[in-house]
Amino acid sequence: MKLKGWFLKLEAAVLLIAVLFIYFKHYEYSWSWFLIGILIPDVSAIGFLINERAGNFIYDLGHTLLLAVPLLAVALMQQSDTLVMISLIWLSHIFMDRMFGIDLRG
């Protein structure tokens, strides 16, 4: 494995650990909601039923930080526990995928 690939996976693992720490230790959110929500972004693969181009676009929407991070910012500004929990689960999914080398499809 190239050094860059290894480094990016390590970076994603560190970010995943940080998000999990915030989710479980700081906010003390539930394991059950985490387990229910962790795979929801993979539903975005349904776009492949349309065609490959649509599938790649919709999948990338479900796996980009460009949507998950602003959602977290809005959630924090609005002090919405539900949106904070959703955004942290979403970020966990993204970092977990990147840790395993699963990147955006586009």
The answer as to whether 73 is a domain residue is yes
Cβ atoms 20, 12 nearer than 8 A: no
Domains in the chain, number: 1
pLDDT at residue 80 in the model: 98
Phi, psi (degrees; rounded to nearest 5) at 56: -60, -45
The answer as to whether 106 is a domain residue is no
The answer as to whether 71 is a domain residue is yes
The answer as to whether 92 is a domain residue is yes
The answer as to whether 15 is a domain residue is yes
**Average pLDDT of every residue of the chain:** 95
- Residues of the chain short of pLDDT 50, as ranges, are none
Range of the domain at 51: 3-99
The three-point CA angle 99-11-82 to 5° equals 75
